Amino acid sequence: MGSPVPGAQGTPPAAAGGTPPAASSTSPGLKPPTRRGSELFLLAFAALLVTIALILVEANQEQELTMRIVWLGLAYLGLLSVAHFAVRRWAPYADPVILPCVALLNGLGLVMIHRIDLAMADVKLPKGVVWSPAAPKQVLWTAIALVLFCTALKVLSDHRTLARYGYTCGFLGLVALVLPGVLPSFIAPEINGAKIWLSFGAFSIQPGEFAKILLMVFFAAFLVSKRELFTTAGRRVLGMDLPRARDLGPLVAAWLVGVSIMVLQKDLGSSLLFFGIVLVLLYVATERAAWVVLGVVMFCVGAVAAWKMFGHVQIRVQNWLDPFADAANKGYQIVQSLFGLGTGGLFGAGLGGGRPDQIPEANTDFITAVIGEELGFVGLAAVLLIYTVFAMRGMRGALAVRDTFGKLLGGGLAFAVAFQIFIVVGGVTKLIPMTGITAPFLSYGGSSLLANYILVALLLRISDAARAPKTTPKPRPQQPAIADQFTVMVERPK
Amino acid sequence: MNKPLRRVGLAMMAMMLLLLANATYVQVIKADDYRKDPLNRRVVLDQYSRERGQIIAAGGEPLATVEKTTDRLRYLRKYQGAAFAPVTGFFSTVYGSSGLERAEDDLLNGSDDRLFARRVSDLITGRDPKGGSLQLTIDAALQRVAFEQLQGVNGSVVAIRPQTGEILAMASTPSYDPNALASHDVEEQMAAWKALNAPDGDLPMLNRSIAGLYAPGSTFKLIVAAAALAEGKTKDSEVDGRPVITLPGTNTPLPNYNDTNCGNGVTATLQEALAKSCNTAFAVLADQLGPEKLRKAAAKFGFDDQDLNIPMPVETSRLGPMTERPAVYQTGIGQRDVLVTPLENAVVAATIANGGVRMRPHLVQKILAPDLQVISEDKGDDVEDAMKVDHAHALRDMMVESEKNTAGGGKLSGVTIASKTGTAEHGENVKNTKPHAWYVAFAPAEKPEIAIAVIVENGGDAGLAATGGRVAAPLGRAVVGAYLGSR
């Protein structure tokens, strides 16, 4: 735990403060490399890829190829550079791969949203409808998100500060989560069957996206402070230590929240995502598989009950089992998604060469299906691998950071992104029932983008803390030795 | 706390692997199924967004063209109407395609390998890829005459140029308007399709010329006669002339038409037997030749050819099993299990007209690049020497005699036609089902320019007493006359 060297096994928590950290981070004068240069290089590479993607789309869509594209590419690089310098200034030891991954995904998302704009404009024009393009709005959102990202990095100089606001975060998160479900529909309209938006005129937000992070902060803080409580074993059943019944509180609470999202907001994806994240946090905090088993059982019970009781759940399951049964109506979306993916095949129809207009919600929930159609399996796999690299680097930061809160929060955030992409892409490719949540960074949507950039800022902050040399050497020489001895004393009689 | 974190990391990897495995399944293993699923409109949309090639008649008249539209399909397919539907087929966004639209789809949509070089240059120069065009052997005027002649009846007319195998006309009635099926209005397409495929309808979308199989009746006697000539018989050889015979081993009588005598009532010459279409003579002749020789002779004229494409696939004309002698007798007069397409019967006439050399029938004369430059030309090729030249001439003379004996109006003056009629019984209840009326012919007999086959299903209006002569012959003569008169 205390070692910043990746791959080292965790040592007992009590030893954390005292074990001498790896030589590089303590030796005076020998600072570890910040790797900001690598980050800048990777960012430029990401901007280049995004520019090439834009050129391909424009060429395939018979748009005029002008120098404008190059300027757009450079502008994007400029935006990224702002983020890069913010990292350089406020989190110099942060992981150098995370931001380029995000930049590539966000840029690819912008290109795809622009590409879908072109397709939709093409479809709507003969009907006399003018399609209002989504890409410019998404560019604006990206800019706002980057401002928020920089602000978060600057304001939050130490992620442990967040732990202090755990309960505040929890309260705000819960309110944000439940708000659209309970508010009247003139302010929280039901869009595509889900009641997850708050609408203020032309401007609408999805508070659930922010709730996800706020609740994660709360759970991490809560679990860290009450860790001992949850590790106390209850009865032993089938070789598994079951938690005591009274410690089930948080799990039951999370379960209730998940179910209420499903019922009040008809948002299966968020419900699944939220519950999965809480389970993982519990598991990491307690190191007990029993929580996971218990949680999965509870989830299954809830899912079966929901399936029995709610028509919209039954439709989703039916569409998953056999979308072709009603390919023209209920199964239309998933069938079109599969057709797009199949038509794309191994190498895809080429950027700008597919038919994204065939898939409803192409620029939000189904954007990965459009990528699969136009860039083929190869492109979809590449995108999945970028997400994997992103999540794994986040996880690496969590492994390397020294404090338990940071570990828990970092691990949770990294898992949240991976799990969300699993739910989205799994739904689009018919691995699991389609639940309708956005692909982080790729999908069109301001709330999602803002929230996910905050998530990136947190991950960078944690990875920075993991790699940074200790600036304030506060030697606490004696404490750990005692702690060590104490542990040894307890162990001996066994 | 690192151990569970590592496990969560592993779980993340496992999730990604699951996604990749499933994506492989969808995009690689199942890809072809999804791509070709009839509900997947992407392929059709792609084809429509390219300018599809034209189908052009021999004289240059366009039979299928495209019109630019403002909707997303970009091009609307336009056709000349019902007369040419059996040739062009249709191209629908919902129901796929048929006819040449289907058989030459790759060329028309531009993906054919023969257009490869041009596609590459299009790619470089940035032009929109376009489909190639087809110039047909179809004589547009003749096709219209044939179609008009068939108005009011169900049937088919096929006309072939004997020396080359070019199909000059290929009409089938009832027909349909392919424009309705090519409409970009899905509702209109569906309404048209529903009407055309009404359960008790006359099958307007069946291309009777190449997909209709009918008993050939007496027209099959041409093949029996050809086989007999090949076995050393001449047009003056004596054959059975009795008015009625009994099928061997049964009590079933096999009479001539109206139980008339052939020749002197005991024997007749082969020429007379063909001219009068004596059933007894050809039934006995078939029995003497035996199933094997009959089958071989028929194969030389194109029977049993499973791979005939013009370029649309043509139903295989066949003789049936002929396992017992009565079956051979009946096969000799084109009944029992013998089935032919009108195209095949036209090929039989064309082969005799061409001195016994069978030419491969074809519809496409030239394949044209999008800029209408000729990529390749089909000059016609002979597939089989079905008969010796003098045998063919002997059979021609017999057919000229047959034409003289044939009733029906519309005889042409100044042109000698060589022909054979047929009145083919069919159906479960033979005696109460109207027979099909056939007329196969070529003209002018001395120097043939056109060979035709005409069938009128169920004898048209003439009912049970219909004979090929009265119903089909006038139609055939009108088509021949129109063709020769126009030249």
A30 within some domain:
no
From chain B, the residues in CB contact with A376 under 8 A are: 27
CB contact under 8 Å between B35 and A285, yes or no, is no
Contacts with B, A 391-410, CB within 8 Å: 391-392, 395, 398-399, 404, 407-408
Q: What is the pLDDT of residue B343?
A: 95
Judge: A422–B39 Cβ closer than 8 Å, yes or no. no
To the query of whether residue B218 is one of the catalytic residues in this protein, the response is yes
Q: Which domain does A105 fall in, by range?
A: 36-467
Closest-CA distance, B190 to chain A, in angstroms, reads 15
Q: Is A28 part of any domain?
A: no
Q: Mean pLDDT of residues grouped by 10 in chain A (494 residues)?
A: 40 40 48 86 93 87 74 86 92 93 95 90 72 87 93 92 89 85 77 75 80 90 80 63 67 74 75 87 85 86 85 85 84 90 88 84 89 93 96 94 92 95 93 88 92 95 88 55 53 54
Task: Give the pLDDT of residue A234.
Answer: 61
A322: chain B residues, CB-CB within 8 Å: none
What domains can be seen in chain B, in order of their start residue?
211-364+379-485 (3.40.710.10)
Contacts of B45 in chain A (CB under 8 A): 355
Which of B363, B257, B242, B348 is closest to B297 using CA atoms?
A: B348
Q: What is the pLDDT of residue A56?
A: 87
Percent of the residues in chain B that have a pLDDT greater than 90, as a whole number: 41
As a whole number of angstroms, the distance between CA A176 and CA A215 comes to 10
Q: Is the pLDDT of residue B70 over 80?
A: no
Tell how strand B267-269 and strand B418-424 pair up: unpaired
- pTM beyond 0.80: the answer is no
Pick the range with the lowest mean pLDDT from A157-161, B10-14, B91-95, B383-387: B91-95
User: Is there a domain that residue A484 lies in?
Assistant: no
The predicted pLDDT at position B261 comes to 78
Q: Is residue A481 part of a domain?
A: no
The answer to whether A411 contacts chain B (CB < 8 Å) is: yes
What is the pLDDT, as a whole number, of residue B131?
85
Whether residue A9 and residue B3 make contact (CB cut-off 8 A), yes or no, is yes
Residue B49 contacts A, CB cutoff 8 Å: no
Residue A132 within a domain: yes
Query: B9 — contact with chain A (CB < 8 Å)?
Result: yes
* The total number of structural domains that make up chain A: 1
Give residue A20's pLDDT.
Answer: 42
Determine the residue among A65, A223, A355, A402 to mutate to test chain B binding: the one whose Cβ has the most chain B Cβ atoms within 10 Å. A355
**Tell me, what's the ipTM?**
0.85
* B24 touching chain A per CB within 8 A: yes
Q: Which one of the listed residues B156, B172, B218, B419 is annotated catalytic? A: B218
pLDDT of residue B432 exceeding 80, the answer is: no
Residues from chain B contacting residue A324 (CB–CB below 8 Å) = 39
Nearest-CB residue to B12 (from A13, A355, A415): A415
Question: Mean pLDDT throughout B130-153?
Answer: 92
**Within an 8 Å CB–CB cutoff, is residue B8 touching chain A?**
yes
Q: Does A227 reside within a domain? A: yes
